[in-house]
């Protein structure tokens, strides 16, 4: 690594240069603070060895300038025993460590090694943050269509704000990806991003997960546990399918949003909730509010900024972009030579209606890549559902005469489809969900809403 030695004593320069170069590092020399700053401006320096007693610009002034221009720079100061107080002050100002004169060679090398380890760690952290921004950056939420460009504009405006955000869209449209992009472009990007799977656990377990509990709060609580609101402190908490949260829990969540505080289950200590809430849903929350299944006051607290993600069938011009993106990713992951999609296969992808949206397209392309043996993704690699999609069910020839409303008719049709899928899957809900191309949790909620019991299905 590159190490700069700023010291006006020729003997010390020679000794330090020899020691450091024997460890395999490259050294740069400067006899004054001004000369050292010029080197820092022209070279990539990983660590600075700085004598506090310099002619002209003092070592303290050089350190202050280094900290101003590069706060992550590692600086090891050298000082005489008589000026240890100055070295301690330098550490208060951000120096990594100090070495008193006269020094031992082993002590110098050990301090430099520790400083370089810190430099590597800081570099790795910066690299990781950049990777996260690239992974969840807006340019990785792919789309050139007008609906997606409008979505990008809204995300750009919403991300730096402090307001709660509600992301709406069908299953598979990429709501969690958008939530992560918002977090990683917000002022809380260095904080945690915590996901709450709102509909996948009972109400009491959900509250324990959200707010934590103290020892003895309930049977089995053998020790205290932090909740997700504590874990997410300083960052963002993402509620996936917020519409599935029970009403009792909704009331407690509303209090957290309003008061910015909460208590662990069974506890009396009031804890601060330093989090930004991002929620997502594929449900009609307005209808849920009207039916009393979702609190109106919570709805308005969450619905400060709404981002509506379009279904893939409404932005078909994005299908080629997405398909080629997934082709490149999975070809690289699976070490396959695939580099293009045939015109016939692309035509099929464009004609398909994609009920599972982007997630379904990704699964289709990944499957094709895994099964491929050539360099082109061809029609035969696509699943039968894409090659020969089932025709849409024709509308009934006669309108209902028994006063059945549109909503009731749609619910009845949903009920019939779910029952048929459950029968075909032998009552296995996960398999039925795959047939219907919905999440198992979504199917479970639909069955509850439509009062469908697996036991009652022959």
Q: Could you give the domains of the chain?
A: 2-132 (3.40.50.2300), 140-308 (3.40.50.300), 317-387 (1.10.8.60), 406-456 (1.10.10.60)
Spatial separation of the C-alpha atoms in residues 253 and 212, rounded to whole Å? 13
Cα torsion angle, 67, 68, 71, 73, sign: negative
DSSP type of residue 303: T
Residue 198 has pLDDT above 80, yes or no: no
Residue 398 has pLDDT above 60, yes or no: no
Identify the residue whose tokens are 């006006």.
8
Spatial separation of the C-alpha atoms in residues 91 and 97, rounded to whole Å? 6
Condensed to tens digits (0 to 9), the pLDDT of residues 313-329 reads 999 999 999 999 999 99
Sequence-ordered strand ranges (E) for 52-164: 74-80, 97-101
Residue 263 has pLDDT above 90, yes or no: no
Spatial separation of the C-alpha atoms in residues 68 and 28, rounded to whole Å? 21
Quick one: tokens of 369? 């890549």
pLDDT at 295: 93
Q: Residue range 128-142: average pLDDT?
A: 64
Condensed to tens digits (0 to 9), the pLDDT of residues 78-94 reads 887 556 777 788 888 88
Beta-carbon count within 10 A of 210 CB = 23
CA 344 to chain centroid, in Å, comes to: 36
User: In this structure, are residues 28 and 2 in contact, taking their beta carbons and an 8 Å threshold?
Assistant: yes
User: In this structure, are residues 295 and 255 in contact, taking their beta carbons and an 8 Å threshold?
Assistant: no
User: In this structure, are residues 262 and 256 in contact, taking their beta carbons and an 8 Å threshold?
Assistant: yes
Identify the bridge partners of residue 5 per DSSP, sorted by sequence position: 29, 49
Share of the chain above pLDDT 70, in %: 91
Beta-carbon count within 10 A of 298 CB = 22
User: In this structure, are residues 375 and 188 in contact, taking their beta carbons and an 8 Å threshold?
Assistant: no
* 236: enclosing H helix or E strand: strand 236-240
Size of the chain, expressed as the number of residues it contains: 458
Share of the chain above pLDDT 90, in %: 37
Residue 186 has pLDDT above 80, yes or no: yes
Q: Is the pTM of this model over 0.75?
A: no
CA dihedral angle for residue 398, residue 400, residue 406, residue 410, rounded to 10 degrees: -80
User: In this structure, are residues 94 and 75 in contact, taking their beta carbons and an 8 Å threshold?
Assistant: yes
- Residue 31 pLDDT grade (very low, low, confident, very high; cuts 50, 70, 90): very high
Q: Residue range 4-32: average pLDDT?
A: 91
Spatial separation of the C-alpha atoms in residues 5 and 16, rounded to whole Å? 8
Q: 53: buried, middle or exposed (CB in 10 Å: 19+, 13-18, 0-12)?
A: middle
pLDDT at 357: 92
Q: How many helices (H) and strands (E) does the chain have?
A: 19, 14
């Amino acid at each position: 690594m590159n190490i700069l030695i700023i010291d006006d004593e020729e003997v010390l320069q020679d000794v330090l240069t020899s020691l450091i170069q024997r460890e395999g590092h490259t050294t740069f020399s400067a006899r004054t603070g001004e000369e050292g700053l010029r080197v820092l401006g022209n070279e990539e320096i990983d660590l600075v060895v700085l004598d506090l007693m310099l002619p002209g610009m003092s070592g303290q002034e050089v350190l202050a300038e280094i900290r101003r221009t590069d706060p992550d720079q590692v600086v090891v100061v050298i000082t005489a025993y008589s000026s240890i107080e100055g070295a301690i002050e330098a550490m208060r100002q951000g120096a990594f460590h100090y070495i008193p004169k006269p020094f031992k060679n082993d002590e110098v090398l050990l301090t430099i090694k520790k400083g370089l380890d810190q430099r590597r760690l800081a570099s790795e952290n910066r690299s990781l943050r950049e990777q996260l921004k690239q992974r969840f950056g807006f340019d990785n939420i792919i789309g050139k269509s007008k609906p997606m460009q409008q979505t990008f504009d809204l995300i750009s405006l919403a991300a730096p704000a402090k307001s709660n955000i509600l992301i709406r869209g069908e299953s598979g449209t990429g709501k969690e990806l958008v939530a992560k992009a918002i977090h990683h472009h917000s002022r809380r990007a260095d904080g945690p991003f915590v996901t709450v799977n709102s509909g996948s656990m009972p109400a009491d377990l959900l509250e324990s997960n959200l707010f934590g509990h103290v020892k003895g709060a309930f049977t089995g609580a053998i020790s205290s546990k932090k909740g997700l609101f504590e874990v997410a402190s300083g960052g963002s908490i993402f509620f996936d399918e917020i519409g599935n949260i029970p009403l009792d829990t909704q009331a407690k969540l509303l209090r957290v949003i309003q008061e910015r505080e909460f208590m662990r289950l069974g506890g009396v200590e009031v804890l601060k909730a330093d989090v930004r809430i991002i929620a997502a849903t594929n449900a009609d929350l307005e209808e849920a509010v009207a039916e009393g299944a979702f609190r109106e006051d919570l709805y308005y607290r969450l619905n400060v900024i709404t981002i509506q993600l379009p279904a893939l069938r409404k932005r078909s011009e994005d299908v080629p972009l997405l398909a080629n993106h997934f082709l490149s990713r999975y070809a690289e992951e699976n070490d396959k030579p695939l580099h293009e999609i045939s015109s016939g296969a692309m035509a099929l992808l464009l004609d398909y209606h994609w009920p599972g949206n982007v997630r379904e397209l990704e699964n289709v392309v990944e499957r094709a890549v895994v099964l491929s043996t050539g360099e082109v993704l061809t029609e035969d690699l696509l699943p039968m559902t894409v090659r020969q999609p089932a025709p849409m069910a024709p509308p009934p020839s006669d309108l209902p005469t028994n006063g059945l409303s549109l909503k009731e008719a749609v619910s009845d049709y949903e009920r019939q489809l779910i029952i048929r899928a459950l029968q075909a899957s032998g009552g296995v809900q996960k398999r039925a969900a795959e047939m219907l191309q919905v999440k198992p949790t979504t199917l479970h909620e639909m069955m509850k809403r439509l009062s469908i019991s697996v036991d009652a299905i022959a």
